[in-house]
Amino acid sequence: MEIAPRIAAIQDLSGFGRCSMTVVLPVLSAMGSQCCPLLTASLSAHTAFPASDKAVFLDLTSWMERTAAHWAELGVRFDAIYSGFLGSADQIGIIERFYQQFRGEQTWVLVDPVMGDHGKPYRTYTPDLCAKMRELAERADCITPNWTEAALLLEEDYACVPTCREGIQDWLERLSLQGKRSVVLTGVSLEPGQVGAGYFDRTTGTTGFAMAHQEPAHFPGTGDLFASVVLGAMMRGDALPGAVEQAVGFVQRCVAHTLKAGTPAVEGVQFEPMLKDLMG
Ligand code: PXL
């Protein structure tokens, strides 16, 4: 009998504006994994809406520890531990303790080092939180940064991000910490009109690229959608290059569909009608 891989997903729940848990949970379920939410915070809406200081925010740091303690009592085991947007620097210590309790030999740890976009950290990401995120990401089997996050991880100036293939390969290798972790870098473009991801696969020690047609728009939450498809595919047994291909293609199709639908970009991509494409 086939048993669904089990994933601990450490994410916030934003009630409006598709991102984090409202994307991760449906995608992982559609791809055949059991997703166990470990909520970091509950927000009325993600932080990219105008006047985001009006959003209501419930910090769930102590709830995370109590949830982990209950899961330990239940003897729960995980095939993967996946973290994304975090509410505070204290939550990083909790995740490190979570690894000690729940990370087995075969557990695949994915850290999406969510910290910012377009060259700027998100409003709630202090320098301390970014430094701790860098430490957490050092313990990952795989990371999925965008360019802003890659620059923060490497402590490079965003203005200096490479644009040629060799420069990007150099960043991928540096981000891999001498081949210790796999890396999937999003928002990579090698020629006009194309965008996708560059990756370093630690199992083969090779770099590669997956590209799709570049749509003329940017939507919040696509990083969460992308990382979730990579993870769902890996849990189905795909190798990293194939998982990245699927994620690049899926995000491009969701963006193209949303542009046609004409809904506000801030609400995220209309991925719901496309979920069936992820079912294997
Ligand atoms: O998609 C990343 C993300 C997750 N969660 C919240 C966010 C963002 C990005 O803005 O605001 C609450």
CB of 87 closer than 6 angstroms to any ligand 1 atom? no
Residue 163 has pLDDT above 90, yes or no: yes
CA of 30 to the centre of ligand 1 (A): 22
How is domain 6-278 classified at the architecture level of CATH? 3-Layer(aba) Sandwich (3.40)
Does residue 19 line the site of ligand 1, with CB under 6 A? yes
Residue of the CA atom closest to atom 7 of ligand 1: 46
**What's the pTM?**
0.98
Q: Supply the DSSP string of 25-77, one letter for each residue.
A: HHHHHHTT-EEEEEEEEEEEE-TTSTTGGGS-EEE-HHHHHHHHHHHHHHT--
Query: In angstroms, what CA-CA distances link 277 with 57, 67, 112?
Result: 34, 33, 23
**Spacing, Cα 21 to ligand 1 middle (Å):** 10
Per-residue pLDDT, 124? 84
Please work out whether the CB of residue 43 comes within 6 Å of at least one atom of ligand 1: yes
Under the banding of pLDDT at 50, 70 and 90, the label for residue 262 is: very high
Q: Is the CB of 246 under 6 A from ligand 1?
A: no
Distance 206 CA to ligand 1 centre (A): 31
Domain ranges of the chain: 6-278
Residue ID of nearest Cα to ligand 1 atom 1: 221
**What's CA 179's distance to the chain center, in Å?**
20
- pLDDT, one tens digit per residue, over 199-239 is 999 999 999 999 999 999 999 999 999 999 999 999 999 99
- Cα 47 to averaged position of ligand 1 atoms, centre (Å): 6
Q: What is the pLDDT of residues 139-148, one digit of tens each?
A: 999 999 999 9
